[in-house]
Amino acid sequence: MICVMTPEELAEIDQWHETLLRVRYAETDKMGVVYHANYLVWFEIGRTEFCRARGFSYRDMEEDENAFLVVAESYCRYKAPAYYDDVLVVRTHITELRRRSMRFGYEIIRESDGVVIAEGETCHVVTDANSHVRTFPPGFAELLLSEPINEPVGEPVPEDEAPL
């Protein structure tokens, strides 16, 4: 069997991870909104934290297991502008999991008003440090499908609560 998990099977156990981040000044452009390439950086933060919440350190996968999730495709649909200092929720889930590849799906939502800023997807191939395609290290695919170890804590931006 090639596919560890079909999209249909995944949909049944569908788990989203939520991570908060705050828009940096450096991420804006002269239009006064976030420059669009930064969304791909945020997607990366989303999948890293998705993994971490399941006891899976992407850094360790690279350094200890010689396994890299190389980006093979990216797609983003920009639905509403995000602004400097906005607190955004990056929602991440797995949309496909195969033996040598996987897909993550994303939503970015402004926390203050719930507006959907963007939706996207990335496709990844598992490789070793020499860029040869390989399978996931033992146990990692299972971790990806497991329940989060602790509830999404979701308060990485506590200063947000400070009164003005």
Is there a catalytic annotation at residue 29? yes
Nearer to its own copies, 138 or 150 (CB): 150
Binding range to its own copies, per CB under 8 A, among 6-14, 90-98, 103-111, 145-153 = 145-153
Q: Which residues contact 107 (CB under 8 A, 6 or more apart)?
A: 89, 90, 91, 116, 118, 119
Q: Are 54 and 16 in contact (CB under 8 A)?
A: no
Nearer to its own copies, 12 or 155 (CB): 155
Q: What six digits make up the tokens of 120? A: 């996207």
Full 3-state SS string of 42-67:
HHHHHHHHHHHCCCCCHHHHHHHHCC
Of 59-118, binders to its own copies (CB under 8 A) are 59-60, 68, 70-78, 81, 84-85
Nearer to its own copies, 13 or 149 (CB): 149
Question: d(Cα 117, Cα 109) in Å, to the nearest integer?
Answer: 5
CB of 1 to its own copies, least distance (A): 26
Per-residue x/- track, 32-51, its own copies (CB under 8 A) = xx-xxxx-xx--xx--xx--
Residue tagged active-site, from 14, 29, 85, 160: 29
Question: d(Cα 141, Cα 158) in Å, to the nearest integer?
Answer: 32
Nearer to its own copies, 3 or 72 (CB): 72
Would you state the torsion angle of the CA atoms of residues 157, 159, 160, 164, taken in this order, to the nearest 10 degrees? -170
Other CB atoms closer than 10 Å to residue 149's CB: what's the count? 11
User: Which residues form the interface with its own copies (CB under 8 A)?
Assistant: 19, 24-26, 28-33, 35-38, 40-41, 44-45, 48-49, 52-53, 55-60, 68, 70-78, 81, 84-85, 131, 149-150, 153-159, 161-164
Residues taking part in catalysis? 29
